[in-house]
Amino acid sequence: MPNGKRAKFSFKYIADMEALFNFILKFGNLNRQQMDFIASKAKTLTLHKEAYFSEAGKIARQVGFITEGILRVCYYNNKGEEITKYFIDENNLVVDLESFDNEICSSAYVQAVTDCKMIVFSRKDWLELLQTIVGWDAIVHKIISRALMQKVERRSPLVSEDATTRYLKFMEIYPSAVNRIPLAYIASYLGVTQSSLSRIRKNIR
Amino acid sequence: MPNGKRAKFSFKYIADMEALFNFILKFGNLNRQQMDFIASKAKTLTLHKEAYFSEAGKIARQVGFITEGILRVCYYNNKGEEITKYFIDENNLVVDLESFDNEICSSAYVQAVTDCKMIVFSRKDWLELLQTIVGWDAIVHKIISRALMQKVERRSPLVSEDATTRYLKFMEIYPSAVNRIPLAYIASYLGVTQSSLSRIRKNIR
DNA sequence: ATCATTATTTGCCAAATGGCAAATGATAGT
DNA sequence: ACTATCATTTGCCATTTGGCAAATAATGAT
């Protein structure tokens, strides 16, 4: 890709792309040409607080990378309660895997908790990257495996702890996010009521 | 591989290998030659109840496939309580991923809950399979991704439910295992005390 | 700045779960 | 069949958490 093409990136956009490649290159190597090809498929997306990145009942059609902000994945359990399954913050990939891979309707919402800036790839472009870039699939596999293991390791221990310990663990994992996420979402993530969480917060200080 | 080589398999062993390939072939295709090569690397392993498949503080050196029995993965939390993270039953792959992949000491035990029959591959053989069989890595990746997603989907919902609902969900997922797993292990998996679980069982009938 | 709306905190009491110890039941080895 | 050992159940009471409603605080729109 000719250098000229770079000219149309805004300064901020270049910084975002850099964050994306910093992330990707932790999982494998790419040459300049491959990176440029990936960059050529990238689009930016701004999500306002509470907007959906993907929705239950619909097919996930894009892969995203968060450069700014926090998303959450949530669903409704059979009592009709809205449950936050997990949060995803800056410098992480976001994709509703099951839905995106198999082109089936999702059962979860992916929603912006705060205003978000993202880099996104359409399904078509993403598949093209997979077919074109040798080794890209291996990198993607590693990224996804790591993310899945992280989800297991983060959520699973909550089951066996009392409410206060759950909150303390939450703060360890998302220290910079605690103050940007509404109490109600954290409560549902931790499996406690809002009022309990409010009391826990009071007792901790 | 010549047919003759098959002759040394016991009848039961062939049935086990068939179970293994039934499992594998759900995730991708292999030709006869590839399957024979895989089979040539397979060993059987019998684990008695409470024996360890892999241990915390050690490096996981094999990949297993359970043909009979139930394993559990457990660890000790910072209160010294033994927590069962999950159960793995018949016709599933068992590997302590983090430890096996990166050759680092594990922080979890993988232990037989009942007497188990397994098919196992040494680290060396497993890597050889990955290098030799085209497409094997893709199959393995699918198997592992699915297993990880399953772990998330099974354990995560427990956080937001009360003890009785947790147990009902557990029974849905492991209907055939409920009666083979000691109450204490189930209790620690669900994050409730043994006595509470005992009372829950009484109340359900 | 003011109001309307939403988020969080608090009080009160009920329900669920834990902690501990004893009783009962199940199992394996001799 | 008989212990010894381990697993499960049960009773009693303390603690934690939930449910509901009202009070207070924070936020956003005008």
In the predicted structure, residue A51 carries a pLDDT above the cut 70? yes
Residue B9 is encoded by which pair of tokens? Answer: 């398999």
| Residue A77, domain CATH | 2.60.120.10
Nearest nucleotide to the CA of A198, by C1', is: C9
Q: What are phi and psi of A28, to 5 degrees?
A: 170, 170
What is the side-by-side order of every strand in the sheet holding A71-76?
A: A52-54, A109-112, A71-76, A82-88
Average pLDDT, chain B: 93
Nearest nucleotide to the CA of B201, by C1', is: D9
Q: What is the predicted pLDDT for the residue at A9?
A: 60
Q: pLDDT by residue (tens digit) across A150-194?
A: 999 999 999 999 999 999 999 999 999 999 999 999 999 999 999
Q: What are phi and psi of B44, to 5 degrees?
A: -95, 155
Q: Which residue of A has its CA nearest to B84?
A: A160
User: What number of other Cβ atoms are within 10 A of residue B61's Cβ?
Assistant: 15
In the predicted structure, residue B84 carries a pLDDT above the cut 50? yes
State the pLDDT confidence band at A8, using cuts at 50, 70 and 90.
low
Decide if A78 touches B, using CB distance below 8 A. Answer: no
- The verdict on a CB contact (< 8 Å) between A159 and B161 is no
- The verdict on a CB contact (< 8 Å) between B158 and A157 is no
Decide if B190 touches A, using CB distance below 8 A. Answer: yes
One-letter amino acid of A138: A
How far apart, in whole angstroms, are the C-alpha atoms of residue B181 and residue A13?
A: 54
Q: pLDDT by residue (tens digit) across B109-142?
A: 999 999 999 999 999 999 999 999 999 999 999 9
- Interface probe for A, chosen from B101, B142, B143, B159 (most Cβ of A below 10 Å), is B159
Same domain (yes/no): B21, B104: yes
Residue A112 is encoded by which pair of tokens? Answer: 């912006």
In the predicted structure, residue B8 carries a pLDDT above the cut 80? no
CA triplet A132, A12, A143: central angle to 5 degrees? Answer: 40
Closest-CA distance of chain A to residue B101, Å:
11
Same domain (yes/no): B17, B32: yes
Q: What is the predicted pLDDT for the residue at B10?
A: 66
Same domain (yes/no): B167, B74: no
**Nucleic strand C under 7 Å from the C-beta of B198:** no
Q: What is the predicted pLDDT for the residue at B119?
A: 97
Closest-CA distance of chain B to residue A2, Å:
34
Same domain (yes/no): B37, B8: yes
Q: What is the predicted pLDDT for the residue at A10?
A: 66
Give the predicted TM-score (pTM) of the model: 0.91
Q: pLDDT by residue (tens digit) across B30-41?
A: 999 999 999 999
How would you write B1-12 as a 3-class SS string? CCHHHHHHCCHH
Q: Work out whether strand A52-54 and strand A109-112 pair parallel, antiparallel, or are unpaired.
A: antiparallel
* pLDDT above 70 as % of chain B: 95
- Interface probe for B, chosen from A148, A164, A194 (most Cβ of B below 10 Å), is A148
3-class SS shares of chain B: helix, strand, coil, % to 5:
50, 20, 30
Q: pLDDT by residue (tens digit) across A115-146?
A: 999 999 999 999 999 999 999 999 999 999 99
How far apart, in whole angstroms, are the C-alpha atoms of residue A113 and residue A189?
A: 13
Q: What is the predicted pLDDT for the residue at B3?
A: 46
Same domain (yes/no): A169, A152: no
In the predicted structure, residue A60 carries a pLDDT above the cut 70? yes
Give the total number of structural domains in chain A: 2
Range(s) of the domain holding residue B137: 3-154
Q: pLDDT by residue (tens digit) across B189-204?
A: 999 999 999 999 999 9
Same domain (yes/no): A170, A142: no
Contacts of A97 in chain B (CB under 8 A): 145, 149
Same domain (yes/no): A194, A101: no
Same domain (yes/no): A202, A124: no
In the predicted structure, residue B13 carries a pLDDT above the cut 90? no
Q: pLDDT by residue (tens digit) across A67-89?
A: 999 999 999 998 889 999 999 99
Q: What is the predicted pLDDT for the residue at A78?
A: 86
Residue ending a domain, among A160, A179, A194, is: A160
Average pLDDT, chain A: 93
Same domain (yes/no): A185, A115: no
Residue A166 is encoded by which pair of tokens? Answer: 């759950």
Contacts of B85 in chain A (CB under 8 A): 156
Same domain (yes/no): B140, B96: yes
Contact status, residue B197 vs residue B158, Cβ threshold 8 Å: no
How would you write chain A as a 3-class SS string? CCHHHHHHCCHHHHHHHHHHHHHHCCCCCCCHHHHHHHHHHCEEEEECCCCEEECCCCECCEEEEEEECCEEEEEECCCCCEEEEEEECCCCEECCHHHHHHCCECCCEEEECCCEEEEEEEHHHHHHHHHHCCCHHHHHHHHHHHHHHHHHHHHHHHHHCCHHHHHHHHHHHCCCCHHHCCHHHHHHHHCCCHHHHHHHHHHHC
Please list, residue by residue across B138-161, b when 16 or more beta carbons sit within 10 angstroms of its beta carbon and e when fewer do: ebbbbbbbbbbbbbbebbbbbbbb
Q: What is the predicted pLDDT for the residue at B9?
A: 60
Closest-CA distance of chain A to residue B190, Å:
7
- For tokens 């189930």, the residue is B186
Q: What is the predicted pLDDT for the residue at A1?
A: 44
Same domain (yes/no): B174, B92: no
Same domain (yes/no): A130, A185: no
Q: For residue B72, count CB atoms less than 10 angstroms from its CB and return exposed for 0-12, middle for 13-18, buried for 19 or more.
A: buried
- Please identify residues in chain A, positions 162-201, with a C-beta within 7 angstroms of any atom of strand D: 162-164, 191-193, 195-196, 200
State the pLDDT confidence band at A15, using cuts at 50, 70 and 90.
confident
Q: pLDDT by residue (tens digit) across B159-175?
A: 999 999 999 999 999 99
